[in-house]
């Protein structure tokens, strides 16, 4: 399911990056029982791959990981445009450790051993805070409101009229905007946004529609690979 569809349906995907097998199994079962769709990574390298190639609504991240240390891993996600909220769950629980985790980009930090009810409550709060901001996405020099399907310049002045998008135009643009550093193949966009269509030509058609409304620069063509969110909305 693509990122936009998840935002609409409320289906919550969670990435758990934890190398201790028993704790990982317990947490995965706990999160699944709470209604999350859970993927598990047992080391930093696998966590990096999953975080860069799949969309998640929230990430639970250990720090002492094989291959790539947790804060280094989070930094790599952030540099690649992954904005998914992260809760660090670590035995490194001193005030300097927590400060380091938050300064590195985590939205929340909980020390082990932890209370299960508190962990679940923190995840719920993290999701609520993220959804409050995730309903408006930056797209080049614009912002896209997922509720109204309207696009406005980032610094719109008085009298600036919003650009209204169709449902499919909004889904396509939001899919690119959620992962601005990722190049999406036509087949991937076809499966995620136009599942009932039989040809990837429909992807090209809707890219044309968005460029006509918002300027050619809104979507970048990466030759031989697909499409990526553009940096400059102007023609």
Over the chain (235 residues), the average pLDDT of each successive run of 10 is 40 89 96 91 96 88 96 92 90 94 93 94 84 71 86 68 92 87 90 87 96 92 93 54
* pLDDT in the model for residue 114: 94
CB < 8 Å & 24+ apart, contacts of 2-5: 2/55, 2/171, 2/175, 2/192, 2/193, 3/55, 3/174, 3/175, 3/178, 3/179, 4/146, 4/170, 4/171, 4/174, 4/175, 4/178, 4/193, 5/171, 5/192
* pLDDT in the model for residue 132: 60
């Amino acid at each position: 399911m693509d990122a936009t569809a998840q935002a609409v349906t409320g289906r919550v995907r969670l990435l758990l990056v934890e190398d201790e097998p028993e704790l990982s199994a317990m947490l995965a079962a706990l999160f699944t029982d709470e209604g999350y769709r859970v993927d598990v990574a047992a080391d930093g390298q696998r966590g990096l791959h999953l975080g860069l190639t799949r969309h998640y609504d929230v990430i639970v991240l250990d720090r002492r990981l094989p291959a790539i240390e947790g804060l280094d891993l989070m930094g790599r996600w952030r540099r690649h445009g992954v904005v998914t909220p992260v809760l660090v769950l670590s035995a490194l629980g001193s005030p300097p450790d927590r400060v380091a985790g938050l300064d590195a980009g985590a939205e929340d930090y909980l020390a082990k051993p932890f209370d299960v009810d508190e962990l679940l409550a923190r995840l719920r709060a993290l999701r609520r805070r993220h959804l409050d901001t995730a309903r408006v996405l930056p797209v080049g020099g614009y912002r896209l409101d997922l509720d109204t399907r309207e696009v406005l310049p980032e610094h719109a002045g008085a009298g600036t009229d919003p650009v209204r998008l169709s449902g499919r135009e909004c889904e396509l643009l939001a899919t690119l905007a959620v992962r601005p550093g990722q190049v999406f193949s036509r087949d991937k966009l076809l499966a995620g946004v136009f599942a009932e269509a039989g040809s990837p030509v429909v992807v090209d058609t809707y890219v044309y529609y968005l460029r006509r409304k918002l300027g050619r620069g809104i979507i970048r063509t990466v030759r031989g690979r697909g499409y990526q969110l553009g940096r400059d909305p102007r023609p």
